[in-house]
Structure 1
């Protein structure tokens, strides 16, 4: 199902200029379009629209130890709640952690990777409020965290 994630502001990359009233269309695990909401809605008029307050940007890389939690699944979920969609391999050494990451489509990488929102790229994105707190995380096209 095609979903449009709309936000007050969309940043396609760390240093990219903001797109006011922007949107990212997601189909499966890929980005179908990025741009102003009106243009994206015009292109995909039947898509479901999720509107988020705040700034939508590429999902982040969790660069340190994974948060403490009772289980590997909960440790990965804590990472997703922070807006991260990737973890460093050096901190995911156990088979249980790697399996939990894999089940949630969290990337396990050896070092920093460029994170940008581009058409046909993997749909990894996060939305942050004015305090910097994560409101929502989409990992490989799936909404995996939503703050209530």
Structure 2
């Protein structure tokens, strides 16, 4: 099935100053690949059978979270049923939990789901715990090399301080894997950082409600 994702702005290569944003841009997805990208009117004419999703935001490559090792192997993401809060636990609070591999795996799955909610489609390791490695593999997020640095779930938000050019993972290209996010824009067309949607390998895995 073909899906045409239409957005207020399309920025296919944030790190490339020669690739300016396209107003009323779109990306066409077929399976897990990008079948076309560019101005919406052109793609709508070229792919008349595609179903359309419309986003009032900036469509850009999925983000890279460089803090995956710390977030998934040094912090615990609570299950709401545990009633121990919603924020990741680390340090002495983590040591008191006495986690086994099964709980580390559940924590990693919840952490990865939260990353998708911030537009993340690639996460940096290293991933040394077997349960965490399995969770990352099954999630479909790309696993990247990393240095184990500590940081937040949202690579664009404080205290990370990464620019979009730094946080975006690669660029969107025809034939490339369909990993992208849609970021919120304010009334004047400026990026606010909030994530409206995340598409991973062509699948819409997060949508703000």
User: Which residue of structure 1 lines up, in the alignment, with residue 205 of structure 2?
Assistant: 144
Query: Residue 66 of structure 1 contacts residue 76 of structure 1 at CA under 8 Å; is this kept in 2?
Result: no
Structure 1 segments unaligned to the other structure (5+ residues): none
Q: Deviations over 1:79-121 (max 9, x none)?
A: 111111010122x332222222222210001159951000000
Number of residue pairs matched by the alignment: 147
Tell me what 1:129 maps to: 184
Match of 2:143 in 1: 108
2-side partners of 1:104 and 1:31: how far apart?
A: 20
Alignment of 1:85-100 (within 5 A): 85-90=121-126, 92-100=127-135
Runs of at least 5 residues in structure 2 that lack an aligned partner in the other structure? 79-106, 147-166, 186-191
Q: Map 1:42-81 onto structure 2 (within 5 A).
A: 42-64=45-67, 65-66=70-71, 68-70=76-78, 71-81=107-117
Equivalent position of 1:22 in the other structure = 25
Which has a greater percent of helix?
2
Residues 107-116 or 40-49, more deviating = 107-116
- 1:38 correspondence with 2:41: yes
Q: Which residue of 1 aligns with 2:12?
A: 12
Moved more, 103-112 or 8-17: 103-112
For residues 33-81 of structure 1, the C-alpha deviation after alignment (integer angstroms, 9 at most, x for no partner) is 0000111111110111000011000001001132741322111001111
- TM-score, length-normalised on structure 2? 0.66
Residue 30 of structure 1: how far off its partner (Å): 0.5
Question: 1:9/1:113 Cα in 2 relative to 1: closer, same or farther (>3 Å)?
Answer: closer
Separation (CA, whole Å) in 1 of partners of 2:128 and 2:40:
41
Q: The residue matched to 1:132 in structure 2 has which SS? A: strand
| Pairwise CA RMSD | 1.7
- Higher alpha-carbon Rg: 2
**Secondary structure, counterpart of 2:174 in structure 1:** coil
